[in-house]
Each structure stands twice: as structure tokens, then as C-alpha cells.
């Protein structure tokens, strides 16, 4: 349905007493659609007010003195503030209730004018009585005449502001820009005229006097023409609101509006109090531009509120149309702001462009998020659900103010933008699913399991908004939970007639708030209190841990120093979630809150209690960003990861665009943020299951409790794993075979989500984009995605039969051409492990448990035990589902196809961890089906032992998580002294430096337990050096330091020493004895020492010349031969041909012609494929 098909019903035959003015172009271009006509009128009003307002202040600066302009602007600001106490907050109520007020419309408007005028008059009187407290700018308001004039001005401005809401509520918003244009033009003319007559107060007087030119004629128009016409048009369908309804609406809307005003007015105060005057000017200009852009979404929301109140039956259709139209408007506008921010701000001066460009770009992104938020707020107002509106606006206010105070000192002005984006993202994450429930079309009737109606064409299914069906579903669910089972019957929803068939309603119009909202049960309230207690138990003792406490960690890692109340809180979190699974009714909000709290508590613990961000490789990845930021190029000879630079390139680009230069806090919070992001595709994946709500929630919960692998740090693997989850979720939800004939075993997958051809094309392009984004970002993830896709196609669980070939060509071309610097020098390493399953498994599992501390071995055994337990539970889930008559095929593919990775290579001894990580989504969902295998009415009647079993499994998994995930924390933790030592090295790395670090394996051990590589990666060479088992024998270390050449250093740091103790079995006294011996060597001197690291250098430093940095040629490095050129051209044509073939197959209607074109494209692709394969073989044979 197009967004222009939301035209309302035809006007009644009763002739209106006047004609509605129609703006040029707007009325004709959009067919008189009130939703868009009013929205565009309000947007036009915003533009006119901004342009003429700028002209007013430019003229004021020209014709008046600085003091006069200052006094006038201060009085105007005070007038707006006092009038805004009611006017700004009552416009939402007018937009909500005028459409349904009927004969009471005139009375409602007049009482609103009168009541709000009385309130603001009292407020203005209080302001005048305390005038001496407000500074010298208001001195000219002293005296009875001036005071009465100011009081009249406040009342007039209040009425003028309310008038805009009245015109919008009467669906006559085109009068708003007309009135404001007259007001702005008259005040500009009076400003010039009063420059001589009233040189001191002319600015304020001209503004106030012009109000009458808009209020008086439009007031006459409202009461004499528009209100009678509105009353006649809504005759028989109106439902005048009661005082109680208005009061309940205002209680939420007024409170929420105050929170919104708090964001608008308090954030600039915070900025002004913490930055210089120059920075405050930069912020003001950027926020003015961003705020003007935000008004576009606010104006569309106001129009949507009016139309939703006028015709609640079309709320879903109007909301969809508003979202589509705002996407067409806001995305280009935000794109122009984002890309053109330097040039836009450059108009105000070079300093504005340099300082405020990142801030304006953040505001541009926020404008897109505000479309979703303001649309949902408009829906809430139309449904009179202002309580939810108030708490969302309150949450937004608290988040924006708190994050601004937190980030502004750390990130400068960009911190204010990050605070707004983060806060908006939280609100949108809450609002988007609820907005989707409003606009999502759903099937009218639900066919029972096994009904032959599943065989019908998907697009022929009649659909209706899901919020209209929700009341029937919730009623049936509540009845099903009672002791007496109701008669089973499919829910029937009345057909919604098109506008032309609708007759006026006899009574009050239906509203979405008529739907039944389940009240919280006693069990839900009790578990909510227990959740609060669990979080307090978990966090309060943990927050008291200091660095000295963390230094006492033993072989079990972080769990060895966690207080007992923290461990009890973790167990209580599991108990709460298992208790929620035991309840007879699904408590979605509480389940989601408990799940998010569990994920945050498990993964954010080191980020909160440790002084520096953890994990050495995360610090090393900062060096990739630093190199791209400084040089703008990749250097494949420096590191193999430069052959897959996608993640680093896009992150560096985003950082530069948004003004983020220090990623230290990013790597601190990245694991927590990415783990929370994993939940979204997991929830989407559960929609492919034919399972109960308990099984779906338990599956995501088990996934979260089993995420101990530790690949969620700031890395390409953590990012591409998120893309992998989204990839498989889209495949299983929208691209499975849609029609299934049941045999003895019913399919374990639910029916495919209904989509039209356009939506399927978009989803297909998303799938292709996800895979293409992974190919240049990570070595392993594309092969897992390709394997899962191929298995689903072979088992007929995916319709996209041409994608495996397309994706295989893409990944082969990247490896063969773009990754040449890696495989041409590491051919045996890359392909030597192919087929060696036993050796790869041994290296990845048993090879990692050799030697080391006996206590620390428990961590490694716990990992093996946890992985085996989850996989065994998955196998049991497959068996139990089969016993209940369900055939699971998709989930076993996800759980067991990643094990083919053992046939590729050992991946540096980490293949077992990667295999389990990729197998976890399918294994967790199968494990949940082992606990709750039933579906439908049987699942509602019989909970069985699923919840107690879930409690037991959860306790084992969360205990194992704390050991397996944080067991390596003694050496994976980054200490502040080590960061300081590395900063010292970077400060002395010109032209180059060699840093020796201690290890037991100088060949295979390439990652020191150190915050290394964060800067100057082409200047600092990290040299693994054999750590002597006897700390007295340090001659080898001295010799290695001499062999390294001049400008070389040896570092002995606490984390690496802890690694040697726990993983290699070095004694606890080894470090102190080693440093004493090194201190006694005459050839060595300490150049840096702190509590966490000691750096040694040769005395004298050597006389040889220090080599200059030689990073090698920039990438990509491709050796072109005649065969390579032909193969590259053929590969480009082949990829386009295969992708186009798949898109046309999905987009086109089934026909003989489409089948012939598809077959022709396939046969034409075969010779191209042969050329590409021959080229790749030739390259491997000649360049390896």
C-alpha cells in the first residue's frame, strides 16, 4: 500500500459554512490528504519562522544598540518561558481531543484559552514581583504600565502558541504558516518603524504588537468558520471528552512535556557551565541546526496525532504512511547534514567547522532516530496512553542529562552528541517493537497446526493490523490459563471496511486503548522484587573491589575474589528467570529486563571494576585504527589481518566522521554492547521456531549464559559474528520453503513470515550485503556462513538455491586476489591443515591444557565440560522434539555444520572455541527445546519439570561462565602501569624501537599479555624472547637485547608474568628473583619502573644506526598476470550475473519466461565460472 492511499472518507453532504484554504501545490500534489497536508503545513511554518526570525534579529542588530537587543531578547525569552508553562504542554491535548470533541469543540478551546491564560498571568505576576532577582536586563519592565504590558504579552503569546495546536486539531494546519508569516512580517516592519520612536524597548514592543495581527483574525476564523464546519463534519461520530479523560491525558502528557523541556533547556546550561564561551558558541549553532531538523519529525507526529484521534480505525495505516514519508524526507536531509557538515558550519567560520562538525553529524544521525521516537509518541497521544509517554520522556531526560555530564569532560562537544544518540537509541529500542505491534499487518485468522490452509498462496492471505487482533489473542490466552478450559475456536476479527464503505459510527469511535492489557500477577510482582534484590546483591559488593583486590586473583581468575553476595546475586538472577518460565502467563517486559540485566551483569563486570580496558588484542586493534587514521592506507606486510581490513576501515571512518579519536572507552564497553546486540538477531531467529514462548525465551537465555568464548572483544570476529546471527535469522525466518505437507513428523519450523515480492527483494539484498560485508572483514566467518547456507539449501530449508554458488565465488575471489599477500607467504599455514581433523582437534582442545598451574587447568577443563554439556543438551533436545512428533532440521544445521571447521585448519589452536561459538545459536535453541518441547495448548496446560530443569541448567551455566569467561583474567586484565609503560615506549619510538617480551614459545606465541600495539605499529617491533626457567640465568636475555640492536628495550610486566605462572608453571617468586638479577647486571639499566611494569635497556644504547621504519608497500597487493586480468574481469561479470539472476528469481512472478531466463543465465555463467576457477588455480600454483 502506498503512503498516499491514506485518504480519509469523503466529506458529508452538509455544506460547510466556509471554504478551507489550500496551500499552493500541497493540496493538489497530495490529493488533499489531511495527514500530509497538515504535516507539510507545519514543516513550512517551521521554515518560514526560521528564515523570518533570522531576518528579525539581523535587523535588530542593525537598527538597535547592543543593550536594547539584549533587553529585548531577554524579555522575549522570559515571555516564551512563562507562556510555555502551559502553552507548549497543552498543544498535545488540543490535537488529541479537538478531533473528537464535536459540539463541545468551541467550549473546549475557549476553556483552554481561559484556563491557561489565567495560569500564565499568575506566573507572569510572580515574575514581575521578583524582577530584581533576574538581573539588569529586565530593568525596563519596572513600573505599572510596563508590567501590565508584559503580563498582556505573556497571555497573548500563550494564546498564539495554543492557536497553532487548535488549527492543527481542526485539521486546518495550512492556516498556521499563513498566520505566522503575517506575524513575522509585521513584527519585522514594526521593528524598523519603532527604531526611532522606541529605541530601548522597540525590539520587545514590535514583537508583542505583531501578535494581534495573527491572534485576532485567526481567532475569528476559528470560532466563526472552522469550529462550526468541524462540528458539522463530525456530527454523529464525535465523543466529547470528559474532564476525567482530559485530566488523565494531561497528567502524563504534561509531565512528559516538562521532561522534554528539561532536555531542551538544561543541556545548553550544562554545556555553558563546563566549556569555554567559544565552544558554547559552536554548540549553540550546531544544536540550532539539529533542532530545526528535529522539528520535521515533531510536525509529522502532531499531524499523526490529529488523524489518529479523528479516525482511530486508520491509525495503523496512517502510521505506516507517516513513517514511509518521513523516511523519504529525513534520510536525504540527514545525509546532507552528515556529509555537508563541514561546509554548512563553515558559513559561520572556520572554527565552527573544525570544532562542531562531529557534533552536527551526531545530531544528523539522531534526527533519523527521532522519526521512530516521535512517531511512537504521536501514536501514544492518539491512543491517550500518556503514562507510557511520560516515563519514556522521563527516561530520555535522565539519560541525556546523565550521559552529557559523564561524556562531556571526556569527549568534548562530541560527547554531547554521543549522549543524545545513546539516549535516543535506548528509547528507540524500547519504542520500535511496540510501534511495530501497532503497524504490523497480521493474518485475520490463525490456521491450526497442520491445516491445509498452509498450502495456500502467501500473498492471498487477508491481513489486518496486529494491534487489532491482539485483544482477541490476549483474551484467549488469559482464558486458557484459567482452571476451566474455554471452547476452542479460531479468533475472528471483523473486517475493516475501506473508507468509501464506512458509515458513521453510532457511539464512540474504537480506540487502541480498548484492548485488554494483562495486569501483572502476584508471581510477576514477586519476581520483579527478587530481580531488584539480585541486582543489588550482585553489584553493590562488586563495586567495592579495588585494584589491590584484583591483584589477589588466583588460578580461577575473577571468581576467586568476587564477594559471596555477588555470587548469590548471580544465582538469584537465574532463579528469577527460571521462575518467570514457570508462570502460566508470559511476562514479556520482565523477561526481557531480566535477560538484559543478566547479560549486562555478566559481561560488564570487568568494565566497571577494572581501571583500564581489558584484553591485549583489543589494544592491538587500536593500532590498526591509528595507522589508518594517520596514513589512510593498509600495509599487508605488517600483519596478516591487513588482508581483511574491512572492520578496521569502517570503524576508522565512523570514528573520524563522528569526532571520536580516543577509542579507549569504546574497547572497554564493546564486549557488553556487542553481547546485548547479539540478542536482537537471536530473538528474530526464535520466530522461525514452532515452539512455546517458554522455549523461545529459554533459548535466548541459554545462548547468553553460554557466551563465555571471549571473542566479543573489539575485533573483526565479534563484529562479523553479529552479522552471522542476522544472516541466519533472515534466512530461516523469511527464506524457508513456505508450504509444508505434514507427514508423521511435523516440521519444527513455523510457517514463513508473509512478505510481498518487494519486501523479499529487500531482504535478499540485505542477506547479500551481510555476506559481502563479512568477506573483507574476517577470514573464518564467510566460510561458516557459506557452509550453513549450502546445508540449508541441500536440506530444502532455504529457497535461495543460487546463493551458495554466488557466495563461493565472492569469497574465492577475495582470497585469491585481495588476500594474496597472506597466502602467498603462508601457503602451508593456510592449506596445510586441510583434512587433518584429528590434528586440528588435538591442537585446539588437548593442546591447550598441557602444563601450567593445576588450579588454572580447572578453567580449561570447565570450558570443555561446558561446551560438551551444551552440545549434549542440544542433542537431547532434538531427540525430545522427535519424540513429541516434530522434525528439526534447521537448528541441527546451525549447531553442527560449524564442526566442519575442524577439517580446515587449527586456526592457531583456537578452532575449537570458534566452532563452539558458531554452533551456539542452534545448540542453545535445541537445548531450550529439550526443556520445553511442547507447543500450543499442550504447552499451556503442562509445564512439567521444564522450569526446575532450566533452573538447574542455568545455575550450572552461570557458575561455569564465571569460571570459564573470567578464569584468564589474571593475565588478560590490563593494568594501568602497563598502559603507562607502553605510552613511554611510544614516546621514544622515533625512528623505530624493538620491544622484547618474555614467553616460553618464541615461535607460536605471538601475543604478549600487554596493552601492546595501540600506536605506531610500523615503528615498534615486538620480539618474543625466551623466559629463563631459572631467573638467575639471564645471559640469554642480555644477549637477545644486544642482538636486537640499538634502541631496544626489555619489558617485564605483571600480566605476562602471571601468564607464565598460570599457563607454564613458573613459580610465584620468579618475577622478584628475575628483576633482582636484571638489576644487578652492569650492562642493563632501568629506564622505567612502576608497580606493574619494568623496562630495561642496554647502558649506552649501542653505537649502530637505528633503522628507519619499513612497513612495506601499501595494499592491496595483487600480482597481475594475463590469466589474472582475464579471471578478474570474468569474476566481476559472474558475480553480477549470479546476483542479478537470484534477485530476478525472487522478484519475478512464477512463469515459463522467468524460468527460461534463469536457466539461460545459469548456462551462460558456467563458462565464466570455469575461467575464474582456472585463473585462481593458476595464481595459486605460480604464486604460492
pLDDT in tens, 539-568: 999 999 988 899 999 888 899 999 999 999
Inter-residue contact 616 to 1008 (CB < 8 Å)? yes
How far is it, in rounded angstroms, from Cα 64 to Cα 58?
A: 10
- Report residue 1113's pLDDT band, with 50, 70 and 90 as the boundaries: confident
Least confident of 41-45, 711-715, 989-993, 1137-1141: 41-45
Return the pLDDT at 835: 58
Find out whether 956 and 869 touch, Cβ atoms under 8 Å: yes
Non-local (6+) Cβ contacts of 1173 within 8 A are none
Element (H, E) at 395: helix 386-411
| For residues 163-171, average pLDDT | 80
pLDDT value, residue 813: 93
The neighbour count for residue 239, using CB atoms within 10 Å, is 17
What's the mean pLDDT in 951-978? Answer: 93
Query: What burial letters (b/e) apply to 557-592, b meaning 16+ CB within 10 Å?
Result: bbbbbbbebbbebbbbbbbbbbbbbbbebbbeebbb
1106: left (phi over 0), alpha (psi -120 to 50) or beta: beta
Confirm if 289 and 363 have CB atoms less than 8 A apart. yes
What's the chain's average pLDDT?
Answer: 81
Give residue 445's pLDDT band: very low, low, confident or very high (50, 70, 90). Answer: very low
How would residue 494 be classed by pLDDT, with cut points 50, 70 and 90? Answer: very low
Q: Which residue has the higher pLDDT, 965 or 347?
A: 965
Residue 1121: how many other CB atoms lie within 10 Å: 14
pLDDT at 136: 63
478 falls in which pLDDT band (50, 70, 90)? very low
The highest-confidence range among 434-448, 562-576, 646-660, 753-767, by mean pLDDT, is 562-576
Which band of pLDDT confidence, cut at 50, 70 and 90, is reported for residue 162? confident
Query: Percentage of residues in the chain with pLDDT exceeding 70?
Result: 84
**Nearest-angstrom CA–CA distance, 804 and 786:** 6
Cell numbers standing for residue 372: 521512530
Most confident of 57-66, 183-192, 252-261, 648-657: 648-657
Strand partners, 924: none
Nearest to 1030 by CA among 1060, 1073, 1094, 1064: 1073
Closest by alpha carbon to 585, among 896, 943, 244, 1115? 943
Output the nine-digit C-alpha cell for 750: 513455523
Confidence band of 632 (pLDDT split at 50, 70, 90) = confident
Q: Which element (helix H / strand E) includes 1086?
A: strand 1084-1089
Give the model's pLDDT for residue 1103.
66
Q: Identify the residue with better confidence: 496 or 1116.
A: 1116
Whether residue 1116 is preceded by a cis peptide bond, meaning omega within 30 degrees of 0, is yes
**pLDDT higher than 70, residue 434:** yes
Q: What's the predicted TM-score (pTM) here?
A: 0.77
- What is the C-alpha separation between 999 and 957, in angstroms, rounded? 33
CB 590 within 8 A of CB 573: no
The answer on pLDDT for 452 being more than 60 is no
**Would you place residue 117 in the very low, low, confident or very high pLDDT band (cuts 50, 70, 90)?**
confident
pLDDT band at 700 (very low <50, low <70, confident <90, very high): very high
* Nearest alpha-carbon partner for 64 in 181, 150, 193: 193
Beta carbons of 55 and 130 less than 8 angstroms apart = no
Greater confidence (332 vs 179) lies with 332
- Give the model's confidence band at 734: pLDDT under 50 very low, under 70 low, under 90 confident, else very high: very high
User: Mean pLDDT, to the nearest integer, of 457-464?
Assistant: 40
The three-state secondary structure class of 819 is: coil
Mean pLDDT of 256-264: 75
pLDDT higher than threshold 80 for residue 281: no
Amino acid at each position: 500500500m502506498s503512503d498516499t492511499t491514506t485518504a480519509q472518507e469523503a466529506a458529508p453532504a452538509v455544506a460547510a459554512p466556509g471554504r478551507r484554504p489550500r496551500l499552493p501545490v500541497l493540496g493538489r500534489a497530495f490529493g488533499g490528504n489531511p495527514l500530509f497536508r497538515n504535516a507539510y503545513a507545519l514543516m513550512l511554518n517551521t521554515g518560514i519562522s526560521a528564515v523570518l526570525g533570522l531576518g528579525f534579529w539581523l535587523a535588530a542588530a542593525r537598527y538597535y544598540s547592543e543593550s536594547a537587543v539584549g533587553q529585548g531578547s531577554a524579555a522575549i525569552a522570559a515571555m516564551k518561558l512563562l507562556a510555555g508553562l502551559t502553552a507548549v504542554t497543552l498543544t498535545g491535548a488540543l490535537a488529541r481531543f479537538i478531533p473528537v470533541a464535536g459540539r463541545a469543540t468551541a467550549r473546549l478551546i475557549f476553556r483552554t484559552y481561559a484556563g491557561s491564560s489565567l495560569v500564565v498571568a499568575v506566573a507572569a505576576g510572580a515574575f514581575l514581583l521578583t524582577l530584581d532577582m533576574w538581573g539588569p536586563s529586565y530593568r525596563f519592565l519596572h513600573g505599572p504600565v510596563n508590567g501590565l504590558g508584559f503580563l498582556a504579552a505573556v497571555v497573548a503569546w500563550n494564546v498564539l502558541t495554543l492557536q497553532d495546536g487548535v488549527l492543527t486539531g481542526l485539521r486546518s494546519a495550512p492556516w498556521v504558516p499563513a498566520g505566522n508569516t503575517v506575524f513575522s512580517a509585521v513584527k519585522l516592519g514594526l521593528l524598523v518603524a519603532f527604531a526611532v520612536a522606541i529605541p530601548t524597548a522597540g525590539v520587545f514592543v514590535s514583537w508583542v504588537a505583531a501578535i494581534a495581527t495573527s491572534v485576532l483574525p485567526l481567532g475569528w476564523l476559528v470560532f466563526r468558520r472552522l469550529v462550526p464546519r468541524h462540528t458539522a463534519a463530525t456530527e454523529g461520530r464525535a465523543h466529547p471528552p470528559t474532564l476525567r479523560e482530559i485530566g488523565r491525558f494531561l497528567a502524563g502528557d504534561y509531565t512528559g512535556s516538562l521532561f522534554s523541556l528539561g532536555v531542551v533547556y538544561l543541556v545548553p546550561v550544562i554545556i555553558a557551565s563546563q566549556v569555554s564561551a567559544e565552544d558554547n558558541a559552536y554548540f549553540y549553532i550546531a544544536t540550532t541546526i539539529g533542532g530545526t531538523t528535529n522539528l520535521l519529525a515533531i510536525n509529522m507526529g502532531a499531524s499523526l496525532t490529529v488523524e489518529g484521534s479523528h479516525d482511530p480505525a486508520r491509525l495503523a495505516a496512517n502510521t505506516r504512511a507517516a513513517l514511509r514519508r518521513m523516511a523519504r524526507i529525513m534520510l536525504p536531509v540527514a545525509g546532507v547534514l552528515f556529509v555537508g557538515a563541514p561546509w554548512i558550519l563553515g558559513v559561520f567560520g572556520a572554527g565552527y567547522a573544525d570544532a562542531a562538525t562531529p557534533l552536527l553529524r551526531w545530531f544528523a544521525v539522531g534526527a533519523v532516530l527521532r522519526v521512530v521516537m516521535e512517531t511512537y509518541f504521536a501514536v501514544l497521544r492518539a491512543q491517550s496512553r500518556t503514562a507510557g509517554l511520560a516515563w519514556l520522556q522521563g527516561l530520555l531526560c535522565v539519560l541525556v542529562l546523565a550521559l552529557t555530564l559523564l561524556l562531556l569532560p571526556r569527549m568534548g562537544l562530541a560527547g554531547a552528541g554521543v549522549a543524545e544518540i545513546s539516549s535516543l537509541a535506548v528509547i528507540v529500542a524500547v519504542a520500535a517493537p511496540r510501534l511495530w505491534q501497532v503497524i504490523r499487518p497480521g493474518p485475520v485468522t490463525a490456521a491450526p497446526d497442520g491445516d491445509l490452509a498452509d498450502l495456500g498462496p502467501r500473498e492471498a492471505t487477508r491481513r489486518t493490523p496486529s494491534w487489532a487482533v491482539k485483544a482477541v489473542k490476549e483474551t484467549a490466552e488469559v482464558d486458557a490459563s484459567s482452571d476451566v478450559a474455554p471452547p476452542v475456536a479460531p479468533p475472528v476479527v471483523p473486517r475493516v471496511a475501506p473508507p468509501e464503505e464506512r458509515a458513521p459510527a453510532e457511539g464512540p469511535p474504537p480506540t487502541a486503548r480498548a484492548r485488554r492489557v494483562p495486569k501483572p500477577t502476584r508471581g510477576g510482582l514477586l519476581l520483579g522484587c527478587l530481580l531488584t534484590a539480585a541486582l543489588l546483591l550482585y553489584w553493590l559488593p562488586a563495586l567495592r573491589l579495588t585494584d589491590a583486590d584484583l591483584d589477589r586473583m588466583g588460578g580461577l581468575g575473577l571468581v576467586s575474589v568476587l564477594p559471596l553476595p555477588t555470587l548469590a546475586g548471580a544465582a538469584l538472577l537465574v532463579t528469577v528467570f527460571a521462575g518467570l518460565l514457570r508462570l502460566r502467563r508470559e511476562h514479556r517486559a520482565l523477561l526481557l529486563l531480566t535477560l538484559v540485566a543478566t547479560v549486562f551483569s555478566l559481561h560488564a563486570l570487568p568494565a566497571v571494576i577494572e581501571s583500564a580496558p581489558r584484553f591485549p588484542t583489543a589494544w592491538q586493534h587500536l593500532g590498526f585504527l591509528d595507522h589508518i587514521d594517520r596514513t589512510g592506507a593498509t600495509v599487508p606486510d605488517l600483519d596478516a589481518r591487513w588482508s581483511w581490513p574491512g572492520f578496521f576501515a569502517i570503524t576508522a571512518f565512523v570514528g573520524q566522521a563522528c569526532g571520536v579519536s580516543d577509542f579507549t572507552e569504546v574497547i572497554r564497553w564493546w564486549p557488553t554492547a556487542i553481547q546485548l546486540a547479539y540478542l536482537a538477531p537471536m530473538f528474530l531467529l526464535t520466530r522461525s521456531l514452532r515452539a512455546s514462548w517458554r522455549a523461545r525465551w529459554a533459548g535466548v537465555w541459554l545462548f547468553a549464559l553460554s557466551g563465555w568464548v571471549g571473542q566479543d572483544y573489539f575485533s573483526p570476529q565479534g563484529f562479523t559474528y553479529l552479522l552471522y546471527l542476522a544472516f541466519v535469522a533472515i534466512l530461516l525466518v523469511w527464506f524457508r520453503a513456505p508450504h509444508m505437507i505434514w507427514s508423521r513428523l511435523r516440521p519444527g519450523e513455523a510457517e514463513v513470515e508473509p512478505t510481498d515480492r518487494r519486501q523479499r527483494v529487500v531482504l535478499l539484498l540485505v542477506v547479500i550485503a551481510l555476506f559481502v560485508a563479512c568477506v573483507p572483514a574476517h577470514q573464518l566467518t564467510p566460510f561458516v556462513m557459506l557452509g550453513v547456507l549450502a546445508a540449508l539449501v541441500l536440506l530444502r530449508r532455504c529457497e535461495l538455491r543460487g546463493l551458495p554458488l554466488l557466495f563461493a565465488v565472492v569469497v574465492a575471489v577475495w582470497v585469491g586476489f585481495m588476500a594474496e599477500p597472506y597466502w602467498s607467504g603462508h601457503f602451508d599455514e593456510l592449506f596445510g591443515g586441510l583434512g587433518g581433523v584429528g590434528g586440528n582437534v588435538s591442537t585446539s582442545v588437548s593442546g591447550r591444557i598441557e602444563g601450567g598451574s593445576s588450579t588454572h587447568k580447572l578453567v580449561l577443563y570447565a570450558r570443555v565440560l561446558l561446551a560438551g554439556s551444551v552440545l549434549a543438551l542440544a542433542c537431547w533436545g532434538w531427540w525430545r522434539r522427535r519424540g513429541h512428533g516434530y522434525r528439526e532440521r534447521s537448528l541441527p544445521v546451525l549447531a553442527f555444520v560449524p564442526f566442519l571447521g575442524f577439517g580446515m585448519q587449527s586456526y592457531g589452536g583456537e578452532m575449537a572455541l570458534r566452532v563452539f561459538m558458531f554452533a551456539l545459536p542452534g545448540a542453545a535453541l535445541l537445548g531450550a527445546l529439550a526443556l520445553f518441547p511442547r507447543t500450543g495448548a499442550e504447552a499451556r496446560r503442562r509445564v512439567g519439570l521444564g522450569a526446575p530443569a532450566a533452573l538447574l541448567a542455568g545455575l550450572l551455566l552461570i557458575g561455569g561462565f564465571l569460571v570459564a569467561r573470567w578464569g584468564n583474567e589474571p593475565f588478560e586484565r590490563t593494568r594501568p602501569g602497563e598502559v603507562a609503560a607502553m605510552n613511554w615506549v611510544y614516546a621514544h619510538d622515533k625512528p623505530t624501537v624493538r620491544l622484547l617480551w618474555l614467553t616460553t614459545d618464541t615461535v607460536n606465541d605471538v601475543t604478549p599479555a600487554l596493552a601492546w600495539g595501540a600506536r605506531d605499529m610500523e615503528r615498534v617491533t615486538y620480539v618474543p624472547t625466551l623466559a629463563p626457567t631459572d631467573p638467575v640465568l639471564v645471559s640469554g636475555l642480555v644477549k637477545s637485547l644486544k642482538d636486537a640492536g640499538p634502541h631496544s628495550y626489555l619489558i617485564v610486566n605483571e600480566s605476562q608474568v602471571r601468564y607464565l605462572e598460570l599457563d607454564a608453571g613458573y613459580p610465584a617468586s620468579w618475577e622478584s628473583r628475575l628483576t633482582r638479577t636484571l638489576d644487578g647486571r652492569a650492562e642493563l639499566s632501568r629506564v622505567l619502573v612502576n608497580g606493574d611494569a619494568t623496562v630495561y635497556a642496554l647502558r649506552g644504547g649501542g653505537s649502530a644506526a637505528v633503522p628507519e621504519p619499513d612497513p612495506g608497500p601499501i595494499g592491496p597487493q595483487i600480482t597481475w598476470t594475463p590469466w589474472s586480468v582475464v579471471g578478474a574481469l570474468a569474476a566481476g561479470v559472474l558475480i553480477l550475473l549470479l546476483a542479478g539472476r537470484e534477485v530476478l528469481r525472487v522478484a519475478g512472478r512464477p512463469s515459463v519466461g522467468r524460468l527460461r531466463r534463469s536457466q539461460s543465465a545459469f548456462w551462460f555463467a558456467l563458462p565464466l565460472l570455469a575461467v575464474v576457477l582456472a585463473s585462481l588455480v593458476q595464481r595459486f600454483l605460480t604464486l604460492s
